[in-house]
Amino acid sequence: MMIRAGVLDVAFDRLGDPSGRSVVLLHGFPYDPRCYDDVARLLSASGYDVVVPYLRGFGPTRFVDAKTMRSGEQAAIAHDLKELILGLKLDRPLVAGYDWGGRAACGVAAVWPELVSGLVCVSGYLVQDIAAAVSTTALPHLEKRYWYQYYLHSERGRAGLAAHRAEIAQTLWTDWSPSWRFGDSEFAATAPSFDNPDFVDVSVHSYRHRYGIEMGDPAYAATQTLLAEQPRITVPSVVIDPTEDTVAALYGRPDHSAHFTDLIDVRELDCGHNPPQELPGWFADAVVTLGDAIRDREGPSRTIPSRTI
């Protein structure tokens, strides 16, 4: 399916009960909606209306105007999610994601909390503090995790990503989820999404903008200013902490509590960077737990799917 949403024609999968509570599932870099196939099946069986979009630069999603800046900044992907929610006329959906998808979900929950009823986010608060990234270094054993980001800061890295999209993605999948044994067919189902004509430009801009190397799209400057203030997230939230993720830190409840004012749960899962594909049942259960908590608060006047997972 496809819908015009802001500056994009967004491709998305949709399944489940159109009258149920909506949930938008958002993938990261370098993944695509296939990471949610099992999660979407479980949630749809529980009565949810499940929407899984391709982010800008991935799969069939396309920019409407060739002149639009191919930005990958956090404010841009937050706007994309906002426009998708409005375009599909979703009634305060749950939003859930990891990596770029988690950042988009956190951005919407922080800046437009009235649009969503709850958030499931992997690794917690993903709103980037760009000023800190520009001015603060990390210890070498932490910095080496981000080799791919520094690689894309160079034109050699841009050329490398353009020439070896699938190979770089497969390397990152393997490095970030050391205990996940995905098969060739599983990776092959996602790899075509990297052939999107904007994949390289959007990806490179994302990893340059977050370090202050490139300017953002002026269209999102006001939103980026709000995100720079590191706003707390006030909607009901569940945080998933992967214990085997080699690229994202394991923060723990005290750190998460500083960023989320309504923290329903923090769950440590024994998996790597891609929990929905590595442990789909556990990821789906986190979404259902959040939905149950919201249903209990809102009472019988609001129809929310009941737990079947």
Does the pLDDT of residue 300 top 90, yes or no? Answer: no
Q: What is the pTM of this model?
A: 0.96
Helix (H, G, I), strand (E, B), or coil: what is residue 79? helix
Cβ proximity of 21 and 304 under 8 Å: yes
* Mean pLDDT, the chain, whole residue set: 96
Report the distance separating Cα 210 and Cα 172, nearest Å: 19
305 pLDDT band, cuts 50/70/90, is low
Report the distance separating Cα 37 and Cα 207, nearest Å: 27
139: left (phi over 0), alpha (psi -120 to 50) or beta: beta
79 pLDDT band, cuts 50/70/90, is very high
Does the pLDDT of residue 234 top 80, yes or no? Answer: yes
Cβ proximity of 74 and 221 under 8 Å: no
Does the pLDDT of residue 253 top 90, yes or no? Answer: no
- What is residue 210's predicted lDDT score, i.e. its pLDDT? 97
Q: Where are the domains of the chain?
A: 2-298
Does the pLDDT of residue 304 top 80, yes or no? Answer: no
Report the distance separating Cα 45 and Cα 309, nearest Å: 8
- What is residue 173's predicted lDDT score, i.e. its pLDDT? 98
Does the pLDDT of residue 307 top 60, yes or no? Answer: no
- What is residue 10's predicted lDDT score, i.e. its pLDDT? 99
- The 10s digit of each residue's pLDDT in 96-117 is 999 999 999 999 999 999 999 9
| Range 2-298: architecture per CATH | 3-Layer(aba) Sandwich (3.40)
- The 10s digit of each residue's pLDDT in 162-174 is 999 999 999 999 9
- What is residue 301's predicted lDDT score, i.e. its pLDDT? 54
Does the pLDDT of residue 274 top 90, yes or no? Answer: yes
252 pLDDT band, cuts 50/70/90, is confident
- The 10s digit of each residue's pLDDT in 41-65 is 999 999 999 999 999 999 999 999 9
Does the pLDDT of residue 302 top 80, yes or no? Answer: no
